[in-house]
Structures are given as C-alpha cells and as structure tokens.
C-alpha cells in the first residue's frame, strides 16, 4: 500500500480532492457548491460533514498520530482499514445499525459514509436530558446479533480463522486498550489524570490489591478470550440516536475478544451518565426521572440482549461450536438450555467486570467522559466521580456476586 501520497484533508481542500468521486457527486451535487465542516470531537481522527445541494455525507480520515495527544504520539493509519472492515461486518450482522458505507480509500485512510442526521451522540442527549425510548432495545439487539454472529457459535472454521488473523493486525489499537484501560489507571502512569480533589482516591486505587487483581483478571480475559469480533470502543460517544433510530459508529478498535467487553463498556457508560446527572440538572423529580430512564435503558438492553442471544442460539447455532449434535439431536433440550444459561452467565460476569474497569479508567486514566468533564463546579464533579469510582470498584471486585441487572441497577441507586 503506497502511503507516500497521504495528506490530511482540510475543509478548503476537500471538494477539490474528493470532487471527482462519482459516489459523492451522486449524493451531493457539484463540488463547487459543497459546504464542509470539520466536526471531529473524538480522540483520534478528522471527521467532516460535507453538504451539497442534493444531500450530505460524512468523511472520516485517520491522522498519523493521536489527535488527543498530538504528533508526539504516532499512530498507524491502518486503523481506518480496520474500521471499514469492522463496519461492513457489523452492518451485515445487524442490518441498519451501522452507517451506510460509501467508499474507502486505503492510501488516504479516508472512509466516506452516510451522514447521520438529525442523530445526536448519545452522550450529548444524556447531558441535555433527552429521552431516547428505543435505544435500550436497539442496542440489546445489536449486541446479541453482532456478538453471536461474529463468534464460533455462528461462523465456520475457515472464515473464522481468516478473520481472527485479519483483525489480529489491528495491534496498535489493541495495545492502547490494554494499557490505557486495563493498566495505567491502576498504577502511576504519565498519562493518568483526575479531577482536583480525587488525589486520595487515585492513591487508594494504586494500593487496592483486590481491585488490581480484578483489573489483571479482566485484562487476561480481554487478551486471551477471542470469542467474537468486538466493536472494541462501544461507549456512548460511539452511539448516535434519534427518538426512533439508533446507530453505532467508530469501530476502529475492532478486534476479537470476549462478548462481555462490548456489553460492559456500554452499560458502564450508561451508569456513569446516571452518576453525572446532578451536574446537569437541578435535583428533584426531573433528575430522578432521567436517572430512571437511563437505568431502564440498561435493564432493557440486557433483557433484550439475553432474549435475542437465546433466540439466535436456538435458531443459528450452526458454526464451529454448534452443539446441536451433543444436545438437541439426542433429545436433550434441557442440556442445550443449560449450556446457553452457562454462556450467558459468563457474559454477564465479564460485562460487570469490564464495566467496573471502564468506570475506573474514565475517572483516573487518560480519556474522560463529557458528562463529567463538562461539570464546571469542580468540587461537585469530584464528588460525583468519587461515587462512580466506588461503584466501579465494587463491580470489578464483586462481579461474581451480583446476580441480576436489577441488583446492579439497585447498587447504582444506593450509591449515586
């Protein structure tokens, strides 16, 4: 792949550089009339909204360094390739949930896709107090379908092995997760940061053997259990929604890993949004009601996930692991049900463990979340983050002893 011609886009050069692409002319109209805005708010890439007389598209381009840190942190452009490959698979496994892909230019690390509008990043909706009534159901279905259909329960040997090898190449981003999520927050690390007032909490974490042990165990699950193709960065900044539609974007961290990782990261971010609520609206009924909406979303997400996963297990269990020959074919439907329950229990425990680690790292590590970061009252922010951190610690350490989604949601209510 010849990258010598790679050049970052900017709003001024984009129409000239992409204006010969038939796919864009069809959708936008003549390039002389394109309006371009850079809207990237993530940690890594350039994102442009391009509007023409006929419509609009989004153009995402990887930079050869991490935007959040700057050029001192070089980063492979290959992540755009993996994002494209992952979005193709995720969009096939749960049709309609990924943005429609328009073209991919590997040399320029450019991915053009459907402009999601009037969709809003879920985090922003949470700060504005907007209810998204179908989000839990949509995300539960998405998780069940993508995690099941990307796994050995569904895939045949040759395709599965080839895919595992392909995504093993997304090594830089895997390394980022290994370090920034599972290690840095639990040790002295130069990229760690926390809100003023949390120094004692950060020090306590570095001294907390049970939590460090849990972080190490979850890291081992993440690295060694390659059971399905994960989104890999499924926080609520990777979800865009309207009242009746939910989409999943930003799959550049895709890799093979444990099902509970995507589930746990997502519910952790919903739970953190509950903890952050006092920073965004006055207390009382409105705040309570919005927390109820977020917790109901988590509950629906998990229940729909479990129900859809079970349905796929019964109807699409045709991959390497199969298992019908062991159970159903011998009249042992109870055995099949027990195997399913066992698997879901493992996903649940993993999800709780990963959720706990995700909460710790969003408060003590490099990358924080907007729901906390935008709280201007630093003392309030520290107080809310401290509560969330204690909850995250509890999840990670006690993940085997939290029996249900209701129990987990009740823990949030007693701790927020």
The position carrying tokens 């402009």 is: 115
Within 214-297, strands assigned E span 228-230, 239-241, 246-248, 255-257
Binding footprint of ligand ADP on the chain (CB under 6 A)? 39-45, 47, 58, 60, 99, 113-116, 121, 237-238, 249-250, 252
Closest approach of ligand ADP to the CB of residue 256, in Å? 20
Site for Mg ion in 36-65 (CB under 5 A): 42, 44
Task: For residue 368, state whether it binds Mg ion (rule: CB under 5 A).
Answer: yes
> Considering beta carbons, is residue 75 or 402 the nearer one to ligand ADP?
75
The one of Mg ion, ligand ADP, none whose footprint includes residue 91, by CB under 5 to 8 A per kind, is: none
Cβ within 8 Å of residue 383, ≥6 positions away = none
Closest approach of ligand ADP to the CB of residue 181, in Å? 15
Closest approach of Mg ion to the CB of residue 385, in Å? 6
Closest approach of ligand ADP to the CB of residue 392, in Å? 22
The one of Mg ion, ligand ADP, none whose footprint includes residue 195, by CB under 5 to 8 A per kind, is: Mg ion
The answer to whether 313 touches 340, Cβ cutoff 8 Å, is yes
What backbone torsions phi and psi does residue 246 show, to the nearest 5 degrees? -135, 130
Closest approach of Mg ion to the CB of residue 302, in Å? 24
> Considering beta carbons, is residue 114 or 373 the nearer one to ligand ADP?
114
* CA distance linking residue 127 with residue 398, whole number of Å: 29
What Cα–Cα distance (Å) separates residue 379 from each residue in 159, 291, 413?
Answer: 52, 21, 21
Site string for Mg ion, 234-273 (x = CB under 5 A): ----------------x-x---------------------
Helix/strand/coil for 345 = helix
The one of ligand ADP, Mg ion, none whose footprint includes residue 41, by CB under 5 to 8 A per kind, is: ligand ADP
How would you list the strands of the sheet with 246-248, edge to edge? Answer: 120-121, 239-241, 246-248
What backbone torsions phi and psi does residue 38 show, to the nearest 5 degrees? -90, 125
The gap from C-alpha 390 to its chain's centroid, in whole angstroms, comes to 22
For ligand ADP, the nearest residue by Cβ is 42
Task: For residue 195, state whether it binds Mg ion (rule: CB under 5 A).
Answer: yes
Question: Do strands 35-38 and 45-51 pair parallel, antiparallel, or not at all (unpaired)?
Answer: antiparallel
> Considering beta carbons, is residue 215 or 254 the nearer one to ligand ADP?
254
| Binding piece for Mg ion, criterion CB under 5 A, among 138-146, 291-299, 348-356, 364-372 | 364-372
> Considering beta carbons, is residue 120 or 387 the nearer one to ligand ADP?
120
The one of ligand ADP, Mg ion, none whose footprint includes residue 113, by CB under 5 to 8 A per kind, is: ligand ADP
Q: Is 185 exposed, middle or buried (0-12, 13-18, 19+ CB in 10 A)?
A: buried
Closest approach of ligand ADP to the CB of residue 185, in Å? 20
The answer to whether 390 touches 359, Cβ cutoff 8 Å, is no
Cβ within 8 Å of residue 66, ≥6 positions away = 43, 44, 73, 75
Closest approach of ligand ADP to the CB of residue 159, in Å? 27
The answer to whether 58 touches 66, Cβ cutoff 8 Å, is no
> Considering beta carbons, is residue 60 or 381 the nearer one to ligand ADP?
60
> Considering beta carbons, is residue 77 or 402 the nearer one to Mg ion?
77
> Considering beta carbons, is residue 114 or 328 the nearer one to ligand ADP?
114
Query: Which residues contact Mg ion (rule: CB under 5 A)?
Result: 42, 44, 195, 250, 252, 368
């Amino acid at each position: 792949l010849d990258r010598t011609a790679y050049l970052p886009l900017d709003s001024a050069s984009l129409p000239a550089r992409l204006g010969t692409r038939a796919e864009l002319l069809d959708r936008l109209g003549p390039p002389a009339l394109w309006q371009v805005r850079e809207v990237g708010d993530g940690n890594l890439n350039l994102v442009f909204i391009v509007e023409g007389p006929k419509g609009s598209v989004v153009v995402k381009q990887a930079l050869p360094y991490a935007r959040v840190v700057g050029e001192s942190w070089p980063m492979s452009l290959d992540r755009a390739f993996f994002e494209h490959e992952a979005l193709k698979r995720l969009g096939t496994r749960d049709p309609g949930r990924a943005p429609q892909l328009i073209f991919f230019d590997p040399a320029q690390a450019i991915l053009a896709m459907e402009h999601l509008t009037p969709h809003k990043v879920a985090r922003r909706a949470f700060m504005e107090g907007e209810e998204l009534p179908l989000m839990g159901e949509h995300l539960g279905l998405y998780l069940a379908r993508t995690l099941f259909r990307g796994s050995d329960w569904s895939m045949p040997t040759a395709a599965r092995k080839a895919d595992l090898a392909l995504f093993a190449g997304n090594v830089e981003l895997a390394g980022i997760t290994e370090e920034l999520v599972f290690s840095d927050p639990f040790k002295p690390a130069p990229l760690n940061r926390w809100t003023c007032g949390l120094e004692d909490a950060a020090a306590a974490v570095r001294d907390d053997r049970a939590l460090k042990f849990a972080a190490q165990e979850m890291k081992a699950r993440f690295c060694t259990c390659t059971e399905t193709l994960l989104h890999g960065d499924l926080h609520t900044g990777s979800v865009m929604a309207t009242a009746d539609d939910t989409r999943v974007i930003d799959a550049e961290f895709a890799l093979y890993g444990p099902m509970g990782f995507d589930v746990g990261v997502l519910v952790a971010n919903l739970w953190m949004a509950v903890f952050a609520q006092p920073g965004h609206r006055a207390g009382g009924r409105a705040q309570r009601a919005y927390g109820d909406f977020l917790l109901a979303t988590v509950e629906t997400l998990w229940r729909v996930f479990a129900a859809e996963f079970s349905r796929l297990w019964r109807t699409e269990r045709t991959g390497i692991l199969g298992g019908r020959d062991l159970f159903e074919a011998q009249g042992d439907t109870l055995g099949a049900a027990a195997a399913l329950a066992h698997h879901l229990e493992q996903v649940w425990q993993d999800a709780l463990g990963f959720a706990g680690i995700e909460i710790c790292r969003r408060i003590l590590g490099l990358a924080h979340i907007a729901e906390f970061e935008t709280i201007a009252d630093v003392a309030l922010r520290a107080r809310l983050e401290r509560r969330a951190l204690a909850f995250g610690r509890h999840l990670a350490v006690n993940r085997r002893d939290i029996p249900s989604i209701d129990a987990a949601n009740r823990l949030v209510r007693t701790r927020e």
